[in-house]
Amino acid sequence: MATTAPPYGREVRIKVAGPAGAGIKASGETLARSFAKAGLNVFDLTEYPSLIKGGHNVYVLRVSADPITSHVDPVDVLVALDQLTVELNASELVDGGALVYDPDDVTLDTLDARLRERICPVPVRLTQIVKDAGGKPIMRNVAALGAVIGHLDFPLRFLSESLHTQFARKAPEIAEQNVAVAAAGHDAAREAGCAFPGRVEPLPDAPEKLLVDGNESVGLGALAAGIGFYAAYPMTPASPLLHFMARYGADAGVVVKHTEDEIAAMNMVVGAAFGGGRTMCASAGGGFALMVEAFGLAGVSESAVVVGVFSRTAPGTGLPTWTEQADLRYVMHAAPGEFPRVILSPGDMTDCFELAWKAFNLADRLQTPVVLLSEQYLQESHASVEPFDVAAVTIDRGKLIPEGDVSRHDGALGCEGRYLRYKLTEDGVSWRALPGVRGASQVVNSYEHDEYGHAEEGAQMRALQEEKRMKKLDLARTLVPPPAYFGPEEADVSVVLFGATKLPVLEARDWLEASGVAVNVMQVVTLWPFPTDEVRAFLGAARRSLVVEGNYSGQLEGLIRQHALLEVDEHLRRYDGRPFSPEQVFGKVLAMVGRGPEEAAAPAPEERTAVQVGEPSGKGADR
């Protein structure tokens, strides 16, 4: 049956908002972990300005008993830690939605009378609860989390476990104090008498899940690949990966270096690769700009390095804490001259893990830089996912001679029996001997060179070495991950995308299927070398085609036009620093198939109704 509104499933949407410094993100993650511990599916989205204190921070959490892939627009429970949150976000609540606030700090008198009538106030004296417990003012957020749990009739013990996990490295009494504050918030919310139209229940038989963001997933993939050296200078949204490596790398034997800048990070990574380690650095586009010269060094020296470029809104400083997909052409062409590179683009947490460990194999097999191109939306959002398939991880170091005598490797020697680091080969890849291998003297620098590595400016050798390096692209096409496909073979609309746009598009695809519209999706996993044949085949079979990407100029659409010689029917682009919502994609596709205007797809807040997770019941949940 046709519909024009997204068919949301059994889920709850919670928004926590307030000023920077109020612990918005940390408390949100504690809440997400509580639901994940109960077997429920979660996805969160954090929006925050580049401020240490002040501004307006937002944490959005979606909880569902069914599989979910992204955030959505409606809000069922709003936690207002300041007055500004009420002014900015109260109108987003669904009919009957709960507004949790501290009546000592926040008033609802400023709200329109019609808005006050359709929402359910939950006054909880957060500050007083913290004072009574002898806690610090920042613990207001914990009292608010307890209030959310109480309002949803959800067992408090999961929040208690989550708080114990959060404060595991601190004195036990700190966790207990936070639990006491949460319990008081829980009780206060239940006394407020605002009933959620259902009950959020644990799913005891649900399979075990991980709660991870993109940075943690990339870090786990790198550890699985046997990374030996990670260097970086902090820059949003890649900073959490440095924190992850600093915290867990030592246990895995990884040398982690917080460098003085990105230039040093990239140069150190190239040097560590020469020494034989699996190496990686990561930054945002602005940091990558500083790495570009050394990125070229990695190209000419044929160094096996992995570089994370996690995009945020640019140019310049842009919007430092917001998302965009505008660095695709940039990483394709970064550095003077031409050299082969591979660009992989993860679309979800599992992709982050799998492409991270595969990137190290590709870098070793091809002896050239491999870029993981991601964006803030994916790197800083958390999702509950199935445990990563560690058993599938393989280590392939390619043409590497780690020890022994180079004379035992005929393929590494020239006609004079000497080791040739840059020997001209059919596939463009030469044998790489590590320092210490007997008989493998070599010269490695940033100059064009002959087969030994000696600086060479002769026209013939320059051309031969350039041709040797570029042959790697042909080999890469046989090694890189292919595009991923979702949905039926035949569809009303065929969507092409890359990166984290996968998350809202797949959510919208499920809604469209439930609404009688068939959609199939091609996720371009390897952006370079571009999968021309696969894109041409997919779009050639499409009835109507759509490219969804987060940049102004349509960089992916341009690559399709350039390489596949095809024009798509429609595009959907966003470049305001915000990720696509599934409602946007849903509306766009409906419009393409003649099912109403785009704006009809995303219902206005007053048209939405709260949904439930689990079966309706009265109060009385255990704690």
Q: Is 558 left (phi over 0), alpha (psi -120 to 50) or beta?
A: alpha
The span from the CA of 185 to the CA of 356, in Å, is: 41
What's the rounded Cα separation, in Å, for the pair 370 and 364? 9
pLDDT on residue 10: 87
Q: What pLDDT, on a 0 to 100 scale, did the predictor assign at position 249? A: 94
Residue 195's region, left for phi above 0, alpha for psi from -120 to 50, else beta, is beta
Q: If you compute the radius of gyration of the chain from its CA atoms, what whole number of angstroms results?
A: 27
CA angle (216, 222, 225) in 5-degree steps: 145
Q: What is the per-residue pLDDT for 613?
A: 60
Instruction: Quote the pLDDT of residue 195.
Output: 81
Nearest to 32 by CA among 10, 61, 70: 61
3-state secondary structure of 33: helix
Quote helix, strand, coil % in the chain, to nearest 5.
Answer: 40, 20, 40
Closest CA to 480 of 325, 608, 352, 370: 370
Q: How many CB atoms lie within 10 A of CB 129?
A: 26
- Looking at residue 325, the DSSP 8-state letter turns out to be -
- Indicate the Cα dihedral angle 449, 451, 453, 458, nearest 10°: -20
Please name the helix (run of DSSP H) or strand (run of DSSP E) that holds residue 230, with its range, or none. strand 229-232
Q: What interhelical angle do 472-479 and 459-470 show, nearest 10? A: 10
pLDDT at 1: 44
- Contact (CB, 8 A) for 22 and 62: no
Write the DSSP symbol of residue 483: P
pLDDT confidence of residue 601: 44
Contact yes or no for 500/376 (Cβ under 8 A): no
Q: Which of 505, 498, 551, 556 is nearest to 324 (CA)?
A: 551
User: pTM for the whole thing?
Assistant: 0.94
Residues of the chain with pLDDT under 50: 1-2, 598-612, 614-623
Helix/strand/coil for 530:
coil
Question: Contact, 486 vs 440, CB < 8 A?
Answer: no
Are 182 and 143 within 8 A, CB to CB? yes
How far apart (Å, rounded) are the C-alpha atoms in residues 423 and 192?
A: 77
By three-state DSSP, how is residue 203 classified?
A: coil
pLDDT in the model for residue 330: 98
Token digits of residue 259: 């460098």
Closest CA to 550 of 588, 522, 591, 580: 580
